[in-house]
Chain A
Amino acid sequence: MSSVLVYALHNNGVINKNSLGAISEGSRVAGELGGQCDVVVVGGADLTSDVLAALGNYGAKKVYKVDGAEGLSQPVIDAMAQLVGANGYNYALFGGGLLGFEIGAGLAARLDAGVTMEVTAINVDGGKAVAERPIIGDSQISISKYRSDLGIIIGRINAFEVKESGGTAEVEDLAVTFSEWTSRATMITRGEQRGADINIEDAKVLIAGGRGLGAAEGFQLCEDLAESLGGAVAATRAVVDAGWFPYAGQIGQTGKTVAPKLYLAAGISGAIQHKVGMQGSENIIAINKDANAPIFEFSDLGIVGDLNAILPKLTEAIKAKKGS
């Protein structure tokens, strides 16, 4: 019997969508292996029994609740290592995101286990799980097989579909003996928003700006174009970290996932961390002066040129077209 342990990330008691996807996938894989899928969560009173029992709806059999600060990797590594030791799980699964990478990697070190990250598909072959990971700008898929007792699988965000199966999970409080060094990391503030609360997830047209805009002022070009098309403006992580745009408008691994009818990327190179948040868009246009930018590999229309010259003229042309 091969069982799967999934880590579920949450914020104030709301379970992350990618974690729900991981539970759904873990449940499917465990089913094929003839085992069960259990879940571990770390948090405080915000994690009510109702919220945790409801994870059964995605296929969780048992949910272990650990008292501790959410948002840090160390307490989760301790908890998962303890559970693997006690219950002998064969696979640990993460829905992706920054914390999943940290926990999965730390757990691999702790338990001398194999780890694969950015996984987009899991197949069962000969009674074992095999992970598929796109590499080198998604130009090839590498297939990972595990030689260790525990295989650690860190999903790419949005790789695993959320599936409701009905059911209620058994919830158990788990007392964990934390490592000495776990107490040497402390969460001071979590989830600071930094900037206006803007909505980009409902927009049918998104004009997204990256470092190629040159400065915060460059976003005016995106604002003007978005206004002409009746859309909203979004941004990459690099420019949000630089303070040019609010976090709420960020697309990608640690931001929002969007799928508008039109996505226009201005001065965005197209790193994987960005791609995973917007590749579901119906029509993708990219404007970048670097002909080798990865974004051109997944754009429907790519313009190699200077956005400072193109965007204002495009805005004018669209206004003229609408006025006619």
Chain B
Amino acid sequence: MKICVLVKEVPDAAVDKRIDPATGRLDRSGEANLNPYDTHAIEAAMQIREDEGNGIEVGEIVAVTMGPSGAERALHKAVSLGADRSIHLSDDALAGSDVAATGYALAKVLETENPDLVLLGQQSDDGECYTIGAVVADHLKMPSVTQVVKMVVTAGNAKCERQAEYGYDTVQVDFPAVISVGDAINEPRYPSLKAIMGAKKKQLDVKSAGDVGIDAGRVGTDGSKVSCGDFKAPPAKASGQIIEDEDTNDTVAQIVAWLEERKLIA
């Protein structure tokens, strides 16, 4: 079995996120890291490989990303967590792609790899798109299921549990398939120092849009079917009162007073 894991570099969650007013895009300067949700997808791939009872021989785990030149840091991290090699789709023509265009471009890379299973994190921490897995799956003509919190994998299929609108659903998808996992699915391991040091030596292929047959008219700012260059401020909301708890007795007295003022202690 060959598993491809889609990963993404995102601004560090601690960094204040902002829109670059000149481009209308998320300002991605500053600290960046592997999307924390993606580490769960890599861990899920590793657990399929390491499970001796599932009858599956995982030949290769390949990390795939699309992004500007700094994005190989996310691939190094992915490889240090267990991926065997990685692919970086990097092309100026892709800049400004919306979610549908990004999913199309990633699907074109995946077509060249022909995986049995595509895994990804349930959402990226920056654009809050849950949707990329479903876009990729339809381009690849594969079934897909998102936000999976438990997965039982056998040679031919995966039984996936996820929480939906009416409780927990169990959906079986037959391979090849695209599965996006939620962060409750596993506890990602920490990479060993040896794995971190060795990550840069593993094969990393940089591909251009043309290398994987991407139609340039379907990607980038101009190829995206949604234009979102305009922004406005949300309705102003009075900011709440903040108490830093230094003396807990005093803090509690303040909370009680606040509740009493609003007649919330009946």
Q: Do A and B come from one complex?
A: yes
A207 within 8 A of B: no
Quick check: B165 and A321 within 8 Å, CB to CB? no
Answer whether residue B65 sits at the interface, using C-beta atoms and an 8 A cutoff.
no
Task: List A contacts of B256 (CB < 8 A).
Answer: 314, 317-318, 321
Q: Once bound together, how far apart are the Cα atoms of A189 and B167, in whole Å?
A: 10
Q: Is B169 an interface residue (CB 8 A)?
A: yes
Do most interface residues of chain B lie in helix, strand or loop, or is the interface mixed? mixed
Query: How far is the CB of B118 from the nearest CB of chain A, in Å?
Result: 13
Known A-B contacts A105-B131, A106-B135, A184-B173; A116 and B232 likewise in contact (beta carbons under 8 Å): no
Render B125-156 as a binary contact track against A, CB cut-off 8 A, 1 for contact. Answer: 00111111111111101111111010000000
Instruction: Mark out the residues of chain A between 173 and 193 whose CB falls within 8 Å of any chain B CB in the assembled complex.
Output: 179-182, 184-193
B166, A191: Cβ atoms closer than 8 Å = yes
Is B189 among interface residues, defined by CB-CB distance under 8 A? no
Question: Are B255 and A301 in contact, with the CB atoms below 8 A?
Answer: yes
Does A77 contact B169, Cβ atoms closer than 8 Å?
A: no
Complexed CA–CA distance, A193 and B256 (Å):
36
Given contacts A73-B144, A148-B225, A238-B184, contact A262 B163 (CB under 8 A): no
Q: Shortest beta-carbon distance, B170 to chain A, in Å?
A: 4
Cβ B184 vs Cβ A185 within 8 A: no
Contact of B131 among A117, A184, A240, A314 (CB under 8 A): A117
Residue-wise, chain A 268-279 has the 8 Å CB interface mask toward B (1 for contact) of 000010000000
A180 to B244, CA, bound (A): 58
Q: A140-B232, A188-B170, A317-B256 are in contact. Are A113 and B100 (CB under 8 A)?
A: yes
Q: Is B193 an interface residue (CB 8 A)?
A: no
B135 in contact with A105 (CB, 8 Å): yes
Contacts of B260 in A (CB 8 A): 321
Complex formed: what's the CA distance from A9 to B260 in Å? 42
Binding site for A on B (CB under 8 A): 14, 17-19, 26, 98-100, 103-104, 107, 127-139, 141-147, 149, 159, 162-174, 177, 182-184, 218, 224-228, 230-234, 237, 239-245, 248-249, 251-253, 255-256, 258-260, 262, 264-266
